[in-house]
Amino acid sequence: MSIEQWNTTITPTWCPGCGNHSLWNELKRALDELKIPAHKILIVYGIGCSGNMYNFVKTYGWHSLHGRAVPTAVGAKLANKDLTVIVVGGDGDGLGEGMGHFIHALRGNANITYLLHNNKIYGLTTGQSSPTSEKGFISRSTPAGQIEIPVKPLKLALAAGGGFVARGYAGKPNDLKELIKKGIQHRGFSFIDILQPCVTFNKVNTYEFYNSRVYDLAANGYEPTDYNQAMLKADEWGDKIPLGLFYHDSREPYEDDLPQEQGQAIVARPVVKRNLTKLVKEFM
Ligand code: SF4
């Protein structure tokens, strides 16, 4: 296949220069290189500019409710464990409305890949402060500056038990593609926080901002096996911003401990007809 074959007939509507274009391309390239058939992939999308990707990738897709992409994906994976299940969503959707789901999916080690399009702003609703906006950030919802400190997605993921915790950047497409491939191949919850400049509404966290700060962990001899070291690196944000795989372990995924997940995928089993009349009567 080629990456064009993952396109639909709809042309992306994102602003010219938006980081979402890079994420879209690298996700398609990763799927292409992994040679996973399109009918074996489900991508669940959150609400936001990133969620518009629902229209632009030719796999199974589900455009979920705001903040509910992760639990929808977890349910789909449990119903059909033969699917490769990916979540695409933004920082507002995932760490605002969906924060609780994110933490519990990490604790359970649900066997899905989560691509967090982190532009540090609500873009689709035209520029409000999000959970990852920096303290002091001026936006339409915070004209006097953001009061709260930002959520640090990688520290949160590590604290909640994440076994594949990584950061990519839309401005480093090849590295991003490789991270996405590794995330999909990981058994368990793989979380990739992706720095995705919103060129229209976030005039602070721009390509220039990131280009002068990002560096690659692996190229600096970092090994993603030490939890405490990963926590320290996840806290690093300022003149230097690390990219790559922060932490990796092989804790068994959620489905391995569920008796009903053993054997055939649930959707592949024969339907057993049961008379539910007695059960229904109990609730009447
Ligand atoms: Fe991208 Fe921002 Fe435009 Fe949304 S508003 S498409 S995030 S540049």
Full 3-state SS string of 184-205 = HHCCCCEEEEEECCCCCCCCCC
Single-letter amino acid code for the residue at 206: T
Torsion of CA 150, 118, 162, 27, to 10 degrees: 180
Q: Which residue's CA is minimally distant from atom 3 of ligand 1?
A: 15
Integer Cα distance of 191 and 163 in angstroms: 8
Other CB atoms within 10 Å distance of the CB of residue 92: 31
DSSP labels, 135-203: TT---SS-TT---SPPP-HHHHHHHTT-SEEEEEETT-HHHHHHHHHHHHHSSS-EEEEEE---TTT-S
Residue 97 in tokens: 């409305």
What is the value of pTM for the model shown?
A: 0.96
Residue 251 in tokens: 């804790």
Site to probe by mutation for ligand 1, drawn from 22, 125, 198, 202 as the one with most ligand atoms within 8 Å of Cβ, is 198
Site to probe by mutation for ligand 1, drawn from 21, 117, 119 as the one with most ligand atoms within 8 Å of Cβ, is 119
Tell me how many degrees the CA angle 157-103-226 measures, rounded to the nearest 5: 25
Q: Which pLDDT belongs to residue 1?
A: 65
- Give mean pLDDT in consecutive 10-residue pieces for the chain, a chain of 284 residues: 90 97 98 97 98 97 97 98 98 97 97 98 96 97 97 98 98 98 98 98 98 98 98 97 97 95 95 90 93
* 3-state class (DSSP) for residue 30: helix
Site to probe by mutation for ligand 1, drawn from 201, 202, 206 as the one with most ligand atoms within 8 Å of Cβ, is 201
Beta bridge partners of 85: 42
Structural domains in the chain, sorted by start: 3-281 (3.40.50.970)
Ligand 1 site: residues with CB under 6 angstroms?
Answer: 14-15, 18, 20, 49, 119, 123-124, 198-201
Q: Of 73, 149, 79, 81, whose CA–CA distance to 115 is shortest? A: 73
CA of 200 to the centre of ligand 1 (A): 6
Contact by Cβ (8 Å): 122, 48: yes
Q: Which residue's CA is minimally distant from atom 6 of ligand 1?
A: 14
Beta bridge partners of 63: 45
CA of 122 to the centre of ligand 1 (A): 9
Single-letter amino acid code for the residue at 172: K
* 3-state class (DSSP) for residue 31: helix
Residue 87 in tokens: 């979540």
Measured from the Cα of 201, ligand 1's closest atom is 2
Q: Which residue's CA is minimally distant from atom 2 of ligand 1?
A: 198
Measured from the Cα of 48, ligand 1's closest atom is 4
Helices first, then strands: H and E counts in the chain: 9, 8
CA of 1 to the centre of ligand 1 (A): 29
Integer Cα distance of 101 and 167 in angstroms: 20
Measured from the Cα of 19, ligand 1's closest atom is 1
Residue that the structure tokens 């119903």 belong to:
79
Contact by Cβ (8 Å): 108, 254: yes
CA of 205 to the centre of ligand 1 (A): 13
Integer Cα distance of 98 and 85 in angstroms: 18
Measured from the Cα of 15, ligand 1's closest atom is 3
Q: Which residue's CA is minimally distant from atom 5 of ligand 1?
A: 123
